[in-house]
Amino acid sequence: MRISNVIVVNKKTFYEFCFLDKSGSQRRKKMFFSREDLLRFKEMHAAHQKTLREVKRVLDHYRIRYRVSNRKTHIPYGRYDLVITVGGDGTFLQAARQLSSQMILGVNSNPARSIGNFCAATEKNFRKVFFAILSGKAKTKRLTRFSLKIKKQEKAFLVLNDILICDVNPGAMSRYVLTIGKREEEQRSSGLWISTASGSTGAIHSSGGTILKDTSTSLQYRPRELYYKNLNQYRLKGSVLSLNPSLKIRSMMRKGVIYVDGAHFKIPFSYGEEVFVRRSSIPILTVAS
C-alpha cells in the first residue's frame, strides 16, 4: 500500500489532563487522590507515551510524512492516506466517525488497562503491523456503520459502534415513539440502544442483546428497562435487523439526548424532534487483529 501522508490521532491521558496541563490545579482541588491512584495514573501515562514514541519512531524509520494531533481538535481527515489512533476504543471511534475511504489502524497504548477491541496493534507489534500495511500483506476488514439523521438538520452522522437515546437526566424516564418499518410503538424506558455488529459486544449486550460477528451488516436495537403498565404493553422489545433496516424515533422528552459512540459526543433531542437510522453504504476499512 502506498502511504505518503499519515495522521496520528492521540488521546490526552488522565494524568496529563490533571497534573501536566496549566489548568490542572483547579481540577485537582475537586478530587481526592491516594498515593496508589497517583502511581497508577502516572504508570498509565508513561505506557501511553512509550507507545506514541514507538509509533513516531517507526514512521520516521520508513520516512513517512505524518502529523500528531489530539483527538479533540478539528482534523481534516481527507488529506491523509492512513489514520493511526493511539489510545483505546474511544480514540478509534472518535476518528472513525469522520472517515470515508481511508484505512484506519488502532493502536492500544495500554493493553493492561485500556479496552482496545478495535485496535490491531500495540507498542510491541506496531512495527510488524505497519510493515504488513506497507507491503500489502495486512489483513483488513470492512465494518458496517449506520447513518444518523435528525429531521430538519442537513448533516448526517456516521456511527460505527452504537447510540443511546435517553432523557438528559439519567434518573428520569425516557419517552419516545419507535417506528421500525410499518410498526410503531410509544415506549417508556431507561433509554433505547441501537448498535452495529461492531457495537454488539458492548452496552447493548449488557442490556440483553445478541453478540454478532463484527463484519455482519445487521443492525440491532434494544430498549433498556422498559416500564410495564401491563405485561402485553410492548412488542418492539429488541431484535437483530438484517434486511435494509430503517428506524425512526420521535422524542417525547422535554430534554432528550443522543449519545453517539460513547459519552464524549452527544446531540440534543428535544420534544417532537425525529431521528432516522439507516445502514450506511460507507463502511470503515480497518486492519484486522
Using one digit for the tens of pLDDT, what is the confidence trace for 139-179?
Answer: 999 999 999 999 877 788 999 999 999 999 989 999 999 99
pTM reported for the whole predicted model: 0.90
Where a domain ends, among 116, 138, 160? 138
What CATH number is associated with residue 236? 2.60.200.30
Residue 26 has what pLDDT? 64
Where a domain ends, among 138, 154, 187? 138
Residue 84 has what pLDDT? 98
Q: Write out the residue range of the structural domain in which residue 239 sits.
A: 146-281
Residues 126 and 201 in one domain: no
Residue 33 has what pLDDT? 80
Residue 160 has what pLDDT? 95
Asked if 106 and 116 touch (Cβ cutoff 8 Å), the reply is: yes
Distance (Å, whole) CA 136 – CA 265:
34
Confidence at 243, pLDDT banded by 50, 70, 90: confident
Residue 88 lies in a domain: yes
Instruction: Give Cα 113 to chain centroid, integer Å.
Output: 18
pLDDT value at 231 more than 80: no
Residue 286 lies in a domain: no
Residues β-bridged to residue 174:
189
Strand residue runs (E) in the chain: 5-10, 65-70, 82-87, 103-108, 119-122, 140-143, 146-150, 156-159, 162-167, 174-180, 183-189, 191-196, 219-224, 239-241, 246-251, 256-260, 265-269, 274-279, 284-287
Name the phi and psi angles at 233, rounded to 5: -70, -40
Residues 270 and 223 in one domain: yes
Instruction: Give Cα 223 to chain centroid, integer Å.
Output: 19
Residue 120 has what pLDDT? 96
Q: In what order do the strands lie in the sheet with 239-241?
A: 239-241, 219-224, 191-196, 162-167, 256-260, 265-269
Name the phi and psi angles at 120, rounded to 5: -95, -10
Where a domain ends, among 122, 138, 154? 138
C-beta neighbour count of 233 within 10 angstroms: 13
pLDDT value at 288 more than 80: yes
Terminal CA-CA length for the chain: 18
pLDDT value at 242 more than 80: yes
In this prediction, residues 75-84 reach a mean pLDDT of: 93
Residue 114 lies in a domain: yes
Residues 34 and 106 in one domain: yes
Residues 53 and 164 in one domain: no
- The count of domains in the chain is 2
Least confident range of 37-41, 53-57, 204-208, 278-282: 37-41
pLDDT value at 216 more than 90: yes
Confidence at 18, pLDDT banded by 50, 70, 90: confident
pLDDT in tens, 21-32: 767 666 666 677
Distance (Å, whole) CA 77 – CA 224:
35
